[in-house]
Structure 1
Amino acid sequence: MSLGGKGRLVGRKILMGCGGLAILGVLGIVAVGCLAVLSSSGSDTADSSIEGNESAQDDGGSGGQPAEERQAVPVGENLTVADVAWQVTNARQANQLTSEFQEPKQGNFVVVDFAFTNNGSEAVTLDSESLALIDGEDRTFETDNETFGYIDPAKDIFLDQVNPGVTQQGEVIFTVAPGASDFTLELGDTDMFSDENGYVDLGF
């Protein structure tokens, strides 16, 4: 028994239904592919942005300015940074720190003595955050908070308020990497919102 025209009509509907499903399947694959490409592009853009920011930060180098742009004065010379003045009076390397009240401490240290003068019209707060040490490999060292017991109390500058026109004697100690050399001291203007700095060549 032949189905005739009805059979062909049913067959066409089946074929059309299968074709529609196939088209929908292709469209789904295309949509997924487009989403994947867009997602990858967005990720690459974000990664590029992050890498760009990191490169911009690296270009600045350690210590606020690239090494070739730092104009360093020698130890003993006055250095004016904004409304304050610094004079490094002594700088030395040490393998041991001693104190009347502390056990000797072994390590690699750079000890810096200085005079700080407030030339502004208002009191400023002097602390170790205003100083940093940069070596010949452009590595930056911060003051070692665990060595404050080896500093003369008269030279301890922790949150020390300095009034206008007053000079304060200070000392800081840096723990540095073994073999580090060619040190430059970076000195700020005590304003936490400023990036103005001056530099002193320690000579070793």
Structure 2
Amino acid sequence: MTTNWQPPTIPAPPAPEPPSRSWFARHKILTAILAFVAVMVLAQAVNGGDDPAPAAVTKPAASASPDAPPEESEQPAATEEPAEPKEPAQPEEPARTAKLGSAVRDGQFEFTVTKVQAGVAKVGSDMFGEKAQGQFVLVHVTVENIGDEAQYFSDSNQKVQDAKGREFSADTGAALYVDDNDVFLNEINPGNTVKGVLVYDMPKNTRPASIELHDSAFSGGVTVRLG
């Protein structure tokens, strides 16, 4: 018997698969971008060592509002004021001193000493009078009220000094025996004038040097030279 023998059929090997493309090949645009970035980073790294360090930037101070008070550091330094020129020394007020016969004023009174008598042993009459312990000194004075209201004149406010600076008070009791004497505690109206005698009991051989006249016990007084 004839047998048709055929050699076994050998299957053809499968066709090789095409090689798979890499990730970079499949993403060409993204790969290009990454490559550009890498190049820029590398270039900046290379050039960065040569560039000088950037200077520090000072932040500008915030501007103060118009109503805010300036800080102490912004206040101008205090300047020393120039010393004020000293006023020239005023001349001293001349002493309130006058000579015999001159009119002088103190307060509301104007005084004029018209005469001085020294060495008087007794005042008054033989029946009514008073003897001096030493000597009586009689000071004749005119007193005018130059004020605008009545003012009392008292002989006790008038003092006499001798050359040694000793002060003597008026002898009011002896003054009462002097005729027509109006200077004992007399009230003088504005514009009126009285005349009288101030009596002082002083040691013998002592001369009065001056008299200090006052319109009251608290006034400044004015001095009249009697020598």
TM-score by length of 1: 0.59
- Give the one of 122, 128, 132 matched to 2:149: 122
Task: Identify, as 1 or 2, the structure richer in helix.
Answer: 1
Structure 2: segments with no counterpart, 5+ residues: 1-93
Aligned amino acid, residue 169 of structure 1: K
CA-to-aligned-CA distance 1:34-89 (integer Å, 9 cap, x gap)? xxxxxxxxxxxxxxxxxxxxxxxxxxxxxxxxxxx854211111011122100011
CA–CA distance in 2 between the matches of 1:98 and 1:158? 15
Q: What residue in structure 1 maps to residue 187 of structure 2?
A: 161
Q: How does 1:177-196 map to 2 (within 5 A)?
A: 177-190=203-216, 192=217, 194-196=218-220
Instruction: Report how many residues are paired.
Output: 132
Is 2:196 aligned against 1:138? no
Q: What residue in structure 2 maps to residue 7 of structure 1?
A: none
- Give the one of 115, 125, 130 matched to 1:90: 115
- Give the one of 98, 106, 121 matched to 1:81: 106
Q: What residue in structure 2 maps to residue 170 of structure 1?
A: 196
Structure number with larger C-alpha Rg: 2
Distance apart, 1:182 and its partner CA: 4.9
CA–CA distance in 1 between the matches of 2:197 and 2:170? 10
Q: How does 1:11-160 map to 2 (within 5 A)?
A: 70-100=95-125, 101-103=127-129, 105-106=131-132, 107-152=134-179, 154-160=180-186
Distance apart, 1:196 and its partner CA: 0.8
CA–CA distance in 2 between the matches of 1:155 and 1:103? 14
Distance apart, 1:104 and its partner CA: 6.2
In the alignment, is the contact (CA less than 8 A) between 2:99 and 2:224 conserved in 1? yes
Moved over 3 A (4+): none
Distance apart, 1:185 and its partner CA: 0.5
CA–CA distance in 2 between the matches of 1:164 and 1:97? 34
CA 1:102–1:118: 2 relative to 1, 3 Å:
same
Q: What residue in structure 2 maps to residue 201 of structure 1?
A: 225
Q: Percent identity?
A: 24
CA–CA distance in 1 between the matches of 2:187 and 2:175? 18
CA–CA distance in 2 between the matches of 1:129 and 1:104? 18
Distance apart, 1:92 and its partner CA: 1.3
Q: What residue in structure 2 maps to residue 29 of structure 1?
A: none
Q: What residue in structure 1 maps to residue 36 of structure 2?
A: none
CA–CA distance in 1 between the matches of 2:130 and 2:221? 34
CA 1:160–1:73: 2 relative to 1, 3 Å:
same
In the alignment, is the contact (CA less than 8 A) between 1:114 and 1:169 conserved in 2? yes
In the alignment, is the contact (CA less than 8 A) between 2:129 and 2:177 conserved in 1? no
CA 1:136–1:95: 2 relative to 1, 3 Å:
same
Instruction: Tell me how large the CA RMSD over aligned residues is.
Output: 2.0
